[in-house]
Amino acid sequence: MIHKYKLSGYNVLLDTNSGGVHIVDDLTYDLLDNVQPPFEDTCPQKIIDKLGKIYNKDDITECYDEIVSLYNDKILFSEDDYEKFALTSVASPIKAMCLHVSHDCNLRCKYCFAATGDYHEGRMLMSLETGKKALDFLIEKSGDRKFLEVDFFGGEPTLNFDVVKQLVEYGRSREAEANKKFRFTITTNGILLTDDMIEFINKEMNNVVLSIDGRKEVNDRVRVRADGTGSYDRILPNFKKVVETRGKDKDWYVRGTYTKYNLDFSNDVMHLYEQGFDQISVEPVMADPSMPYAITQADLPRIFDEYEELMKKITEIRDSGKFINFFHFMLDLDQGPCAIKRLRGCGCGNEYVAIAPNGDIYPCHQFVGNEEYKMGSLNDGSFNDDMKAEFAAAHVYSKPECKKCWAKFYCSGGCNANNYIYAGDIHNAYKLSCEIQKKRLECAILMKALTMLDTAE
């Protein structure tokens, strides 16, 4: 399978199964509409006659030979032979956990997937006892995995920060005897951050995700407090303090959501950059299409243009010698994740679970509160291994649309929760999300390819 596209004056050719990326001329681009394996020794005359109206005939035969050469090198039209790995490597230890220490929130963000923090289950904080059980559960289920990821999530986790601190201490106290290493992270809206909290977070958390949507008017239209006032002025200085005092060896991101209200979201990315944040993730809102802020199919052309605009702005910054990282443009064409990793997405329900404040277990944070997808409970020791197996089997070959998609080894089947919520089944691709993902990937592949073009053969 190949995928080719035109972007910013370049013709990009991707070989899906090998991951091979090529920049090609117009002749190659057009010739690929006319040829596919099995190849003949020389270019068929009827193709020379057809394209000969536009291109030089010697060039056509030469180009044909180059295509055949890459085919023989297995970096063009290469075979898809990964399915056997999808069918055999299903039983994975659990290595990551989203720990919902607070189903309460001090913001009332209009697009909140968690029903303004309580996940339709009533406002509640996790007890220390339940949190300890969660970490014990993770250690017990983690098999030979050394690194265990725990994200303190909510709601707003700083509303239960004493428990966060005690759980970090508890986790650390178990690391040696269990031969594990916890990688704690926290996702916060920043309203309550104090200097003490920031110091603790920067000492203990491998990653911190700071929620802010961009420009003040954009952020404050949707990220509001209970009284309706905006959050921007409160959170911005707090986030700056986190970043300024954070160790260079530790990860962090400012993370925003864009909606129909700010389809010019490249301006929000740039605003965040101008405020001193150079690790940025801004993502499309996932929402019921009837909501006024929801992104719909009709918005896609505008969104595609905006990603191209963002690509240009980021390239300009980098060309000036400065650093900026946009999470969804990150791509390593030489040393990314292995093919096995790429067969499944986030690993939810299989390698990754979420724990609600009451100790209920779900495949991920987005399934929390959905009784149909409750996997078990820390309180009675129940755990649905059949459901775990179902998620383990949700790989790109069990998702009909993914199986035939060129982007399958990049998004790896997408978000199972979005598939379930918006397309009715974890195996059904949520097309809106797919289209955005594919555009982001096209931009990311080209951006990376251009940085490598000088040394290309």
Partner 1 sequence: MKHIKTINKANLKKTAAKGGCGKCQASCQSACKTSCTVANQKCEREA
**Site for partner 1, residues 245 to 264, rule: CB under 8 A:** 251, 253, 255, 257
Check binding of 223 to partner 1 (CB under 8 A): no
Distance separating alpha carbons of residues 330 and 440, to the nearest angstrom: 10
In the complex, least distance from residue 200 CB atom to partner 1, rounded to whole angstroms: 19
265, 437, 442, 443: residue in contact with partner 1 (rule CB under 8 A): 437
What is the residue type of 452? M
* Window 108 to 137, contacts with partner 1 (CB under 8 A): 113
Question: For partner 1, which stretch binds (CB under 8 A), given 129-137, 237-245, 360-368, 371-379?
Answer: 360-368
Q: Which of positions 39-58 make contact with partner 1 (CB under 8 A)?
A: none
Among 154, 157, 284, 357, binds partner 1 (CB under 8 A): 284
Q: In this chain, which of 157, 190, 347, 359 binds partner 1, going by CB under 8 A? A: 347
Stretch that binds partner 1, among 163-171, 212-220, 303-311, 327-335 (CB under 8 A): 327-335
CA–CA dist 235, 216 (Å, integer): 11
| Choices 35-43, 80-88, 128-136, 305-313; region in contact with partner 1 by CB under 8 A | 80-88
Residues 261-280 that bind partner 1 (CB under 8 A): 279
Binding status of residue 96 toward partner 1 by CB under 8 A: yes
Interacting span for partner 1 (CB under 8 A) from 73-81, 100-108, 165-173, 197-205: 73-81
228 contacts 235 by C-beta, under 8 angstroms: no
Q: Give residues 151-180 in contact with partner 1 (rule: CB under 8 A).
A: 151
Q: Which of 54, 87, 226, 453 binds partner 1 (CB under 8 A)?
A: 453
Of 118, 149, 156, 204, the one binding partner 1 by CB under 8 A: 149
Token pair for residue 378? Answer: 């820390």
Q: State how far the Cα of 116 lies from the Cα of 345, in Å rounded to an integer.
A: 26
Nearer to partner 1 among residue 266 and residue 418 (C-beta): 418
Q: How many residues does the chain have?
A: 457
Of the residues 99, 105, 178, 346, which one makes contact with partner 1 according to CB under 8 A: 346
89 vs 194 by CB, closer to partner 1: 89
**Of the two residues 3 and 127, which places its CB atom closer to partner 1 in the complex?**
3
279-284 and 251-258 beta bridge pairing: parallel
Q: Between 233 and 289, name the residue whose CB sits nearer to partner 1.
A: 289
366 near partner 1, rule: CB under 8 A: yes
Residues in contact with partner 1, shown as a per-residue x/- string from 181 to 220 under the rule CB under 8 A: --x-x-x-------------------x-x-----------
Out of 105, 412, 422, 447, the residue judged to bind partner 1 by CB under 8 A: 412
Q: How many residues bind partner 1 (CB under 8 A)?
A: 96
Q: How buried is 380 (Cβ within 10 angstroms: 0-12 exposed, 13-18 middle, 19+ buried)?
A: exposed
Query: For the chain, how far is it from start to end, CA to CA, in angstroms?
Result: 22
Least gap, CB of 301 to partner 1 (angstroms): 19
Residues 277 and 289: their CA atoms lie apart, in Å, by: 31
Site for partner 1 in 390-409 (CB under 8 A): 409
Instruction: Show contacts with partner 1 in window 11-40 (CB under 8 A).
Output: 13, 17-25, 27-28
- Out of 352, 391, 397, 420, the only residue in the binding site for partner 1 (CB under 8 A) is 352
Rg (CA), the chain: 24
Residue 229 Cβ vs partner 1, minimum distance, rounded to whole Å: 25
Q: Which range of residues in 217-225, 261-269, 299-307, 435-443 is near partner 1 by CB under 8 A?
A: 435-443
Selected from 1, 2, 7, 66, the binder of partner 1 by CB under 8 A is 66
By CB under 8 A, tell whether 334 contacts partner 1: yes
Four-residue CA torsion sign, 420, 422, 428, 433: negative
Q: Does 327 bind partner 1 (CB under 8 A)?
A: yes
Nearest residue (CB) to partner 1, 127 versus 327: 327
